[in-house]
Amino acid sequence: MTTRVIAVGGADAAAARLAACLGGTVCPLAQRRFPDGEHYLRVLGAVEGADVVLVAHLHPVDPLLVDIVFLADALRELGARQVGLVVPYLAYMRQDRRFQPGEAVTSVSFARLLSRSVDWLATVDPHLHRHAALSAIYSVPALAVPSAPAIARWIRAEVPDAVVVGPDEESGQWVDEVARLAGCPGITGRKLRHGDRSVEIAWPALQPWRGRPAVLVDDIVSSGQTLVTALQGLGAQGLQAAACVVVHGLFAHDAAQRLQAAGASRLVVCNTLPQAGLPLIDVLGDLAEAAARLIAPRQG
């Protein structure tokens, strides 16, 4: 049984790690754009009869979707036994309903597109809020690896007396689990989003936690506005934020700088996306174990 791991769109480090964990090898890929912008892809290794795992950091996502669809097709034509997809960050999960009339529910459409192309999918903590599980929208087997154990280990080691704080109800699922595993109290605010960069957060009474270092935990930082507003709210109630821990650091535009200016002295991210210069919490080992579980049933 041969496992070949292909890095799509430059996910080379993650692909090498996955290949090592899965006892497979990296299969090189030639990727470029034609002068008109169309995608050129060429699989440079043998994949006939192999279990192939595509690895991609889905940010920015749209060009990678095209590559994944084309590659999955090509790999089947080249005789791959299965084509799985490991995406440490699963994009398009936040548009999980039609908030305004006429909007595209992109989480569902994206899931349909990927489910038509690959045999299975593994990811880390997708933004499941109004969709109860990946199986609600993905028709292929899809595993969501929790980051809470790794984040809780980090908190126990670095800020053992923390109070774990989530900025909104959506983060409650991560905050509760991280707090339980770290043996710390956990609290969440209630967020009202008025626009991409305009949010309000209402907090429960925080006086009981004054004097304890707060660790803000959220699944995604994009514009950074949620965490900036949370830091301001905590500060106003006399709580000191010791760290912000984020599963998927998208950091649109100047988000990292805005967070630092708002008092996020310690910004830590899980290694689901390539990050320069930030401390990382490792979740790729757990992701490789999930991939191994998904590969096995198709090996016969």
- Min CB(192)–ligand R5P separation in Å: 11
- Min CB(99)–ligand R5P separation in Å: 12
Smaller CB separation from ligand R5P, 50 or 264: 264
Smaller CB separation from ligand R5P, 171 or 271: 171
Residues near ligand R5P (CB under 6 A): 94, 167-168, 170-171, 218-226
Q: What are phi and psi of 230, to 5 degrees?
A: -65, -45
- Min CB(220)–ligand R5P separation in Å: 4
Residue 228, helix vs strand vs coil: helix
Distance, in Å, from the CA atom of 165 to the CA atom of 7, rounded to the nearest integer, reads 35
- Min CB(125)–ligand R5P separation in Å: 10
Phi-psi region of 278 (alpha: psi -120 to 50; beta: other; left: phi over 0): beta
191 part of the active site = yes
Omega before residue 60 within 30° of 0, cis: yes
Smaller CB separation from ligand R5P, 44 or 261: 261
Asked if residue 273 lies in contact with residue 249, where contact means CB atoms within 8 angstroms, the answer is: yes
- Bridge partners of 86, per DSSP, are 55, 122
Q: Which one is catalytic: 191, 249, 281, 287?
A: 191
Which is it for strands 29-33 and 39-43: parallel, antiparallel or unpaired? antiparallel
Smaller CB separation from ligand R5P, 18 or 255: 255
Specify burial of residue 197 (Cβ count, 10 A radius: 0-12, 13-18, 19+): middle
* Catalytic positions: 191
